[in-house]
Amino acid sequence: MSNEKLAFNITLDGLGNYATKCKKDPITKTMNPIEGSYLMSNSLAVALLYKAEGHIEECKDILHEAINDAYHQIRGGEWWKLN
């Protein structure tokens, strides 16, 4: 398995874990996907920046690049390459 697929699969596991354990809306009994997206993205960014030790600016640039690349993968229909 490539490192890219490994990272994708670990991330999917984390998202599933969050969706299962997070507080649900009392009326709809579902999670808020926008709030969950923000919290998961923010927590990953904080963890990566925390571990960057001396490379915070480069890590910040990589995070922006990764989000842009992900957007183009999804919009371009290339998300299936990670399955």
HEC per residue, 4-69: HHHHHHHHHHHHHHHHHHCCCCCCCCCCCHHHHHHHHHHHHHHHHHHHCCCCHHHHHHHHHHHHHH
Grade residue 75 by pLDDT with cuts at 50, 70 and 90: confident
Average pLDDT, the chain: 91
pLDDT at 76: 86
Residue 83 has pLDDT above 60, yes or no: no
Average pLDDT value for residue range 9-32 = 93
**How far apart are alpha carbons 14 and 23 in whole angstroms?**
15
38 CB-contact burial (10 Å; exposed 0-12 / middle 13-18 / buried 19+): exposed
Residue 30 has pLDDT above 80, yes or no: yes
**How far apart are alpha carbons 67 and 83 in whole angstroms?**
18
Structural domain boundaries in the chain? 3-82
